[in-house]
Structure 1
């Protein structure tokens, strides 16, 4: 699902940034160069032109990831709206059509002179705004796996996702199965 009609995967970038900075990815413990490389890889993986990013992109992306996390941490739609509105209030919005780098015309939400960090900030804020305005808090949140601090955004048709990954979903299912087996006395380990 493309929530904002942009050429990047802004919603995926929001999730990846939060998870890269959060405790679930080990992002806090990584060496500076490795963390900066991983943050740049998030840009590339989600369709942003990382080569246009300044060398010191990592602190700005880390700060924005912490702001994005506020949307994933709430469980009430009113709280999500407040968190999204705070993000939107902090971005510069000047929509225009662009055909940079040989691409067909597409919508940018930032002015032509905006750098890649500003474009990412604006498009991720808009992606979360669209997600919350269309689905409330039913399609995003913190991973339901015990001990996992990562986040997810559900873009599936059935809207059943509650885990950041298949690994967390499987681990939780196995733990639940074992707990049921212990409770019934069947002795499954």
Structure 2
């Protein structure tokens, strides 16, 4: 879904950045910096950002922004199983929006046709990523509340997801996690039945 009328997939990029940088407790600490930076640039290119020529110096700022984006997804996580709080999520989103440089305008760069930009024309790649992903997450929360994004429900998984489907049923970061959770639930039910002596 194109949330913000932008040429890039800003919501997908937000999720991908958060998962690439924060899903593992140590992140990619063992990855050489040049490889890590290239991986983040490739990830942005996948989401239609013009990032192939981004300098390696952008990598620390992109990693820091991914950690900031994670606060929105973590705000919806409810450790006690209660409904997630919209207020906490709104506070996290507003903190992101307060930190981005805004300069809305129409642009016709690189043969892409006229399209909307949130960041000023002179904005760096990092500033463009920050503004578009912040607005994409804000649009997701304002349109759908807190039921459409969060931390994967699979035990031990720290990846995040954003659900823009019609049925709004997503609770896992990927089909693999959903399948593992379904298999684990099935096995637990089977074990319970076997322990109770049911056929």
Query: Residue 3 in 1 paired to residue 22 in 2?
Result: no
For the structure 1 residues 143 and 157, does the alpha-carbon distance in structure 2 shift closer, same or farther, using more than 3 Å as the test? Answer: same
Query: TM-score under structure 2 normalisation?
Result: 0.90
State the alpha-carbon separation in 2 of the partners of residues 159 and 28 from structure 1: 34
* Unaligned segments of structure 2, at least 5 residues: 77-84
Q: CA deviation at 1:52?
A: 4.2
Instruction: Output the CA distance in 1 between the equivalents of 2:155 and 2:28.
Output: 19
How far apart, in 2, do the equivalents of 1:116 and 1:162 lie? 31
Of 151, 154, 164, 1:155 maps to: 164
Equivalent in the alignment of 2:188: 179
Query: CA RMSD, aligned part only?
Result: 1.5
Normalization by structure 1: what TM-score? Answer: 0.94
| Match of residue 58 from structure 2 | 57
1:151-179 alpha-carbon deviations (Å, 9 max, x no partner): 00001111111000111000000000000
Q: Runs of 4 or more off by more than 4 Å in structure 1?
A: none
Q: Which residue of 1 aligns with 2:97?
A: 88
Q: Distance in 1 between matches of 2:24 and 2:190?
A: 29
Q: How many pairs are equivalent?
A: 187
Q: For residues 133 and 18 of structure 1, what CA distance do their matches in structure 2 show?
A: 20
Structure 1 residues 1-189: aligned runs within 5 Å: 1-24=1-24, 26-75=27-76, 76-185=85-194
